Chain A
Amino acid sequence: MKALCWYGKKDLRVMDVPEPEILGPRDAIVKVSLSAVCGSDLHLYNGHVPAMERGDILGHEFVGTVVEVGSRVEGFRPGDRVAVPFTISCGRCFFCERELWSLCDNSNPNAFAAEALYGYSPAGIYGYSHLFGGYAGGQAEYARVPFADSGLLRLPESVSDEKAVLLCDVFPTGYMAAENCSIQEGDTVAVWGAGPVGLLAMKSAFFLGAERVIAIDRFPERLGLASRFAGATTLDYERVDVGEALRDITGGMGPDACIDAVGMEAHGKGHGRAFDAIKQKLRAETDRPSALRQAILACRKGGTVSVAGVYGGYADKVPVGAAFNKGITIKGGQTHVQRYMHRLLALIEEGKADPSEVITHSFGLDEGPVAYEVFKHKEDGCVKVVLRP
């Protein structure tokens, strides 16, 4: 089969590889009909995530049809149309039982490596480095799904692949980011990053009762989408002082909640930007946290900073004093996708949400390397890319 494989920093190749096989009794094999490229795939593409190996198949957002199931898979059979949550979760451990699916205790075969970096290991993730299990991803014609009974979402006919593929990661991630804000009536939520996750976090913030949502980005087409798709007020951080603008908009109080939908490769501006870029190049810091810094400084006293953007290692000059002295709650983590998929599928079915509006580009799997370049450079107004095998 064809698969998009990682061969090094900015070196992706479409390879002919063996088709996946059932390796465990709870495995399923899915014939992929559509996959998507995630902003976090760009961290791998740009070489910021350690523990990638040549030949690793990328992709953690994919939908398709079950073609084979292991001997102990219950509830799914060949022919079922499914979406696959990006977090691999056993459904039986302490964490899965408490719906902390992305923290599954059993799904990372390389848990010892993650423990060395994080103390304890999070769940395995498809196509997301050997630190997260080294599982083959879904930017391929077929993919193996471990723990299929807790790792598949059955799709109704009425929901298209384009809508469903956003249930694998992006929509639940945006939704969890908003839910983590504990939104109260009258709240203002500021969102850094108007990419797919940020846009869906904005939309979700309104679903959860926000009075006002403010989008912070620098690309006109993304800010335009934030306004049109999510109904957000927009700020271009290259044109305005974000802190001052947020203060003015919120009557001098600051946003009640701030969502960082940017993560470890923030661009920022000015001295801070140069400082982080150099430190990251020198491997003296792994993450560039300029969005997180701004979010903490801008947040109102007693407010919440919700982190949806991915961080991998260590970051410098995070204003912990501001976070402490303003009594800020910081929440984040990889998304507990299985907790949100069903209710978000229902929103889509009822016609209340169409996450596929964030998809701007579609490529064949063969064009995967081009698709990553277009997405990385946000060429041609690119916001979200899907790949069709």
Chain B
Amino acid sequence: MTGYESRYRRAGKELNVGPTERLLSVLLGGYMAAKGVKRGRVGGLATALAGGYLMYRGSSGHCNLYERIGVSTARRAVEIDESVIINRPVHELYSYWRDVENLPEFLRHIEDVRAVDDKRSHWVASTPGGMKVEWDAEITGERENEYIAWKSLPFSDIESEGMVEFRTAPGHRGTEMRVRMTYNLPGDGASAPVQRLLAAISFRQVREELRRFKQIMETGEAPTTEGQARGRAVGE
């Protein structure tokens, strides 16, 4: 069971130092600590402590100062790992997912998925503010009624991969599904829409999207109150 660490990591311990900087931080910190200890006295002790903190910062990947001033040099990534039990047989859920064009029905951050051929598809995500991020993806592995895995093709605006697993839940409860998705910035930096998309996607949002999937599969609709009758005060 991987993926749980990132999901349950407490707020404030967020990774906000990039990998190169972490390495430099550890090296410089180590050098300062060694120098400080060797020199001794108050000045040396202060240098050693500062070096110790740099080593901690580098090894943990978390910088308190960066957190305070809202800076991050870490490569932003979103990792989603959600499970849901749906009271329908495995084959029904599997075939719904296998037709990737169905996915925007409940994945609300995805505006459109178009199948190019049996394996490849074109994805369009919309960001808050109405910008679009597009990429091509390919199914990289599948076994009928067990799993489907996909990955964005090279040179996309965003690196995305995902996997959904299906298994019959015990006690006639239908199907237990596990969905894992990651979104990563590509190596060569990111455009504003991609950064917005990464900032907007959270496991909470995906949890809601899977709830919507469950509702559609179990009841045939996603219940809503949008558009219902209600009173309004004058001017409201």
Chain A residues at the B interface, C-beta cutoff of 8 Å? 1, 3, 5, 7, 13, 15, 17-21, 23-26, 54-57, 72, 88, 90-94, 97, 105-109, 111-112, 124, 133-136, 140, 142, 144, 146-147
Contacts and interface: CB of A to CB of B under 8 A. Distances in A.
22 contacts: A1-B229, A7-B231, A7-B233, A15-B232, A20-B229, A21-B229, A23-B224, A23-B228, A55-B230, A55-B231, A55-B233, A56-B230, A56-B231, A72-B220, A88-B223, A94-B85, A94-B87, A106-B214, A106-B215, A107-B223, A134-B225, A144-B229
A17 B231 contact: yes
A276 B220 CA distance: 45
Contact of B231 (A15, A25, A124): A15
Contact of B218 (A3, A56, A93, A112): A93
A65 to B, nearest CB: 18
Interface of B: 85, 87, 173-174, 204, 207-208, 211, 214-215, 218-233, 236
Given A15-B231, A56-B231, A90-B218, 13 more contacts: A5-B231, A7-B231, A17-B232, A20-B228, A21-B227, A24-B224, A26-B220, A54-B231, A88-B223, A90-B219, A92-B219, A106-B215, A112-B204
Nearest to B171: A94
A367 B30 CA distance: 79
B221 A24 contact: yes
B87 A140 contact: no
Contact of A93 (B87, B221, B222): B87
A352 to B, nearest CB: 35
Contacts, number: 99
Main secondary structure of the interface of B (DSSP, over half): loop
Contacts of B224: 23-24, 109
Q: Which of B85, B223, B231, B233 has the most CB of A within 10 A?
A: B231
B229 A13 contact: no
B75 to A, nearest CB: 29
B229 A54 contact: no
Given A92-B218, A94-B173, A112-B204, A23 B227 contact: yes
Given A26-B220, A94-B173, A112-B204, A18 B211 contact: no
Contacts of A3: 229, 231
Contacts of B220: 25-26, 72
A244 B232 CA distance: 52
A107 B221 CA distance: 10
A57 B229 contact: yes
Contacts of B214: 105-106
B84 to A, nearest CB: 10
Contacts of B227: 21, 23
Q: Which of A17, A93, A134, A142 has the most CB of B within 10 A?
A: A93
A366 to B, nearest CB: 14
Contacts of A23: 224-228
Nearest to A88: B223
By Cβ-Cβ distance, the 6 closest A-B pairs, closest first, are A5-B231, A15-B231, A55-B231, A90-B219, A24-B221, A20-B229
